[in-house]
Structure 1
């Protein structure tokens, strides 16, 4: 059975929107991201993330993520056509939770959820996320969309914690229903 792994960059106050405003990247974060994507062969994206990423990543040289995201199968939760087109991207119409449950039963590597906070929140609420891999920046964003707003009943078991040279916390949690 596959695992669903949510990878998210957050400020200390939980803001996930526009992390480039408050992140300073370093070697530990590079190694962590490489580890996260090394086990994933499918990615789930929400429509907003797709619209932001599809024009950017195909011409990006930010590695190792550019090679990964451009080559991996991408399922996008949306009810409208995917434009611009992006290699390996297909639309998922209907219930994303049912789709993820089907994906989990198939053979393969981890199913990654990147940047798509609304989708990640819905999957967490439905109990289909297995692992949360968070990177928390030493900054208070003050405003912006938060990953965990409105969630209840999710217990987390700490699997790993590490501080990076720029003061970020790398946190891996296993999830379980409350």
Structure 2
């Protein structure tokens, strides 16, 4: 049995800002849609941070933005938080204990890919712990110059390019495999 992969999917600006991507993602085209669909098609579980959970649990349960609404509402969601979840959302559970150990255990269980979406601190913690197998990034042709960056304050990590294309509206769709993980 092969180990499950942890796949981080993030929307970024050219300077690496991942915070509030709705402020700099102004177009969404078919290539970006197909890319997202391909990423989520391999996932049966998602890890979210508390902030993302709070934002998303107020939006996605009533959204008709497909294919993501059906995916995120139906998939098992684990939330990295030290407090109980105060807003209900189907298939969502707070992580019990240490996030890194929890994900390490999940990787050894049968299943498909484990997704990390929109959760900067979760992605950073899992990258630093050497648990991320792939980065799937959509990079906007803009430089907001402020905001939380995804790849800030991480140890050295070697990557191998596995995908690279430009969408019709100018967004870069890139995929990287982690080949030398930090420990």
TM-score range, shorter chain: over 0.9
Separation in structure 2 between the aligned mates of residue 83 and residue 50 of structure 1, nearest angstrom: 10
Separation in structure 2 between the aligned mates of residue 172 and residue 123 of structure 1, nearest angstrom: 17
Q: Which runs of 4+ in 1 moved over 4 A?
A: none
Match of 2:18 in 1: 16
Output one character per residue of 1:37-81: Cα deviation in whole Å (capped at 9) or x when no partner: 000000000001001100100000100000000000000011111
Match of 2:66 in 1: 63
CA RMSD of the aligned region, Å?
0.8
Stretches of structure 1 that go unaligned for 5 or more consecutive residues are none
Normalising by structure 2, we get a TM-score of 0.95
SS in 2 for 1:120: helix
Aligned partners of 2:49 and 2:80 also within 8 Å = yes
The equivalent position to 1:161 in structure 2, one of 156, 159, 164, is: 164
Aligned partners of 2:45 and 2:113 also within 8 Å = yes
Aligned-residue offset at 1:93: 2.9
**1:29-48 → structure 2 map (5 Å cutoff):** 29-48=32-51
Separation in structure 2 between the aligned mates of residue 84 and residue 27 of structure 1, nearest angstrom: 33
Question: Does residue 1:85 correspond to 2:88, yes or no?
Answer: yes
Aligned length: 178
**1:134-145 → structure 2 map (5 Å cutoff):** 134-145=137-148
Normalising by structure 1, we get a TM-score of 0.98
Match of 2:124 in 1: 121
Match of 2:151 in 1: 148
